[in-house]
Amino acid sequence: MFQENFTFSKKQLGYLLVVVGVVGVVALLSLDVIDAGREGGIGPAQRLGLGFGLALTLIGLTLIPLGDDPA
């Protein structure tokens, strides 16, 4: 049948990482808003998740200017 070799470009991978990172950060921060009745704020696991989401976002932002070269 018809088979096409698809590869992500660096720009597409950058956009994907930015979207995943931002969605993850927003989701983790919204957990505190939804669960407003408990005390304690942002815990260590949430801090790791926020750091990971921010790192993904920054890595994605550095990939976007590299253009349409294969990733």
Q: How far is CA 34 from the centre of its chain?
A: 21
Query: What's the domain range around 39?
Result: 10-66
Number of domains in the chain: 1
Beta bridge partners of 1: none
Give the closest residue to 63 by CA, choosing from 7, 1, 8, 22. Answer: 8
pLDDT score of 16 more than 90: yes
What's residue 2's pLDDT?
64
pLDDT tens for residues 18-48?
999 999 999 988 887 787 666 667 788 889 9
CA 6 to chain centre: 22
Mean pLDDT for all residues in the chain: 87
Does the residue 18 lie in any domain? yes
Q: Is residue 4 part of a domain?
A: no
In a domain, 3, yes or no: no
pLDDT of residue 68: 86
